[in-house]
Amino acid sequence: MMHLLHKIPSAFLYLWDMGTAGCQKFPLKIAGSARFFAVFACALTAGATLSACTDPQTAGGGPSGTDAGNAITAQIISEGKPAAQVTVRLIESESLEANSVHTANTDSKGNVLFENIPNGEYILEATAGDMAFQKEIIIDGEDIDLKNASLEKTVSVSGSVQEKTGIIKVRGLAHEASVVDGKFTLDSLPAGPLSLVFIPSDEKIDTSCTYMKVVAGETSTASTFAEESRSLLLDDFQDSNYQNRFMPARTYDGGWWYFDFSKQNVTPEFITTKDTLHRFLLENDNGNIVAHVAAKFGDPIKDSTNKTTIWPWATVGIELGKSKKTLCNDISSVDSVAFRAKGTGTIIFGAIDETQDIDNRIIAEYKFNLSETWKKTTISLADILDDRFSYTCVNQLVWRFKANNDERVDFWLDDIELIGGKRLSIWKK
């Protein structure tokens, strides 16, 4: 069992591609500058309604720092000085509704206070003319104090979508723009991460979204809006993205696909330079974008006593959440995992809980043989779980290669989805 644990990287490199203009975590050239760009899940989840506030300096009311509500204070700064009478808004980070916003204005010293805010994830946005600021805030039973929140030049984002008409909304910021002849422009946006959602005029057409991170004072271009019809779809690779679209809309530091392997005795294919290690191809297979991984397995590495020290191994995996091992994703409500695969060789599917010690991180396993044609595999999670553990903390899903010496494994993967369960409940921890 110990040699199998080498297949689970304790810290793997993210997948980088410096030359492909797609939706992955790499510098994407936009208007002459590098931008991080990634696509996220687009399910339109309704958030709890937040009441608008009429007090010019204070939003909400009641006790703070309790389970019933918390206080958020901030001092807004513009060009090094307190910014008076600046409009500040607080909205749930997943929300698309402009009427679900707390609104307040700063006082003469640039201070603003929101009270009685329930636990949750929010975006605080301050706007004053051509200057703006945004900050993601996670409230969990404690007051938040944002000191010296500095305004920066606003951002303009233009782009195009396939449909002719509709509306572009910015999740968590309550900005929107009309789509005319497939084109749109959003002005006066704060710098930082933006999650754009396109809602077509035709209700029969699915919504789509894209994610981008923009720099203050610059004009950027948004592209590659990805449709999302299944709320528990982990990935179908149609957006050519190495970051899964299942992630919460504004999470951009996790949820990455990776490929890791023993450097001593496994020779991967499709890797051309040192900059593109730990990656695999996204290929066009009869009009469908799919993941493709292949590797040649060598001999075990032995020591002077002829004892094997390193077995050949290779793993394709995906993070379910942020790149922080202490954060759990509760998939206990999920009935099964399904995916399409083809190729040659044997694969062991597994679930990983990285909060366990190294000998117990693989909490579930299922072995299957690949076929030369595409085959959908559906795995009941209850049937494969080690009875010592539970699915309340899952950090990664992995597909490990099981191969003999001098064997080549060829693995094609597509349409990974969780069946049953609730999308938002998975991130509740």
Q: Does residue 379 fall inside a structural domain?
A: yes
Strand (E) positions, 345-429?
346-352, 362-369, 375-380, 396-402, 408-419
pLDDT for position 234: 87
Please give the average per-residue pLDDT across 3-25, as a whole number.
35
Q: For residue 208, what pLDDT is reported?
A: 81
SS3 233: strand
Q: What's the full length of the chain, in residues?
A: 429
For position 37, what pLDDT does the model report?
29
Strands 336-344 and 375-380 come out as antiparallel
Q: What is the pTM of this model?
A: 0.61
Report which residue type is found at 239: D
User: Beta strands of 43-151 (E only): which ranges?
Assistant: 58-59, 70-78, 81-82, 87-92, 101-105, 111-117, 120-128, 131-139, 144-150
- 122 close to 67: Cβ distance less than 8 angstroms: no
With respect to residue 408, please indicate whether it lies within any of the assigned structural domains.
Answer: yes
Whether residues 120 and 139 fall in one domain? yes
Pair 405, 356 in one domain: yes
Evaluate if residue 364 carries a pLDDT over 70. yes
Model confidence at 21: pLDDT above 80: no
Q: What's residue 101's pLDDT?
A: 84
Task: Give the range among 33-37, 69-73, 91-95, 307-311 with minimum mean pLDDT.
Answer: 33-37
C-alpha 23/C-alpha 37 separation (Å) is 6
Amino acid at 313: W
Helix (H, G, I), strand (E, B) or coil at 358: helix
Give me the helices (H) in 214-363, please: none
- Rounded to an integer, what is the distance from CA 103 to the centroid of its chain? 28
Q: Distance between CA 318 and CA 414 in Å, rounded?
A: 13
More confident residue, 126 or 13: 126
Is 70 in the same domain as 218? no
Residue 411 has a CB neighbour count (10 Å cut-off) of 22
Cα separation, 174 vs 46, whole angstroms: 14
Position 98 scores a pLDDT of 65
DSSP 180: B
* Cα–Cα distance measured from residue 382 to residue 353, given in angstroms and rounded to the nearest whole number: 16
- Answer yes or no: is pLDDT of 31 > 80: no
Shared-domain flag, residues 82 and 160: no
pLDDT given at position 303:
87
Q: CB burial class (10 A; 0-12, 13-18, 19+) of residue 99?
A: exposed
In a domain, 40, yes or no: no
Q: 260 with 333, same domain?
A: yes
Q: Which of 34-38, 62-66, 205-209 has the highest mean pLDDT?
A: 205-209
Average pLDDT over residues 155-173: 92
Question: How many alpha carbons fall within 13 Å on the CB side of residue 234?
Answer: 29
How sure is the predictor about 69, in pLDDT bands with cuts at 50, 70 and 90?
Answer: low
Same structural domain for residues 193 and 99?
Answer: no
231 in a structural domain: no
CATH number at residue 64: 2.60.40.10
What proportions of the chain, in percent to the nearest 5, are helix, strand and coil? 5, 50, 50
Predicted local confidence at residue 48, as pLDDT: 32
Give the pLDDT band (50/70/90) at residue 218: confident
Question: Could you tell me if 131 and 193 lie in one domain?
Answer: no
pLDDT at residue 148 in the model? 87
Of 118, 135, 153, the residue at which a domain comes to its end is: 153
User: Looking at per-residue confidence, does 249 or 11 come out higher?
Assistant: 249
| Residue 242 pLDDT | 81
Give the distance from CA 244 to its chain's centroid. Answer: 6
Longest dimension (CA), the chain: 78
Q: Tally the domains of the chain.
A: 3
| Residue 283 falls inside a structural domain | yes
Domain that holds residue 124: 58-153
> Is the domain of 400 the same as that of 270?
yes
DSSP 317-353: EEESSBS-TT-----TT--EEEEEEEEESEEEEEEE-
Domain identity same for 146 and 159 = no
pLDDT in the model for residue 346: 94
Phi, psi of 359 (to 5 degrees): -80, -10
What confidence score (pLDDT) does residue 59 get?
Answer: 53
Q: How far apart are the first and last CA of the chain?
A: 30
Sorting pLDDT into bands at 50, 70 and 90, what band is 380? Answer: very high
- DSSP 8-state class, residue 5: H
Domain boundary among 113, 130, 153: 153
Decide if 163 is inside a domain: yes
Same domain, residue pair 400 and 361:
yes
Residue 195 near residue 209, CB atoms below 8 Å: yes
Mean pLDDT for the stretch of residues 75-96: 91
Which residue, among 195, 154, 201, has the nearest Cα to 178 in the 3D structure?
Answer: 201
Residue 421 — very low, low, confident or very high, per pLDDT cuts 50/70/90?
A: confident
Q: Are the C-beta atoms of 90 and 50 separated by less than 8 Å?
A: yes
3-state secondary structure of 315: strand
> Are 133 and 159 members of one domain?
no
**Strand pairing class (58-59; 111-117):** parallel
pLDDT of 158 > 90? The answer is yes
Residues 95 and 145 in one domain: yes
Residue 39: the pLDDT is 30
pLDDT one-digit tens code per residue, 344-357: 999 999 999 999 99
Q: Which amino acid is at 298?
A: G
Q: Is the pLDDT of residue 94 over 70?
A: yes
Structure tokens at 287: 């009009």
| Helix (H/G/I), strand (E/B), else coil: 276 | helix
pLDDT digit string, tens, across residues 102-152: 899 999 999 999 998 988 889 999 999 999 999 988 888 889 999 889 999
Name which residue leads in pLDDT, 268 or 207: 268
Q: How far apart are CA 309 and CA 183, in angstroms?
A: 58
* Domain-embedded: residue 41: no
For residue 35, tell me if it sits in a domain.
Answer: no
CATH number at residue 419: 2.60.120.430
Most confident of 56-65, 250-259, 281-290: 281-290
pLDDT of residue 85: 93
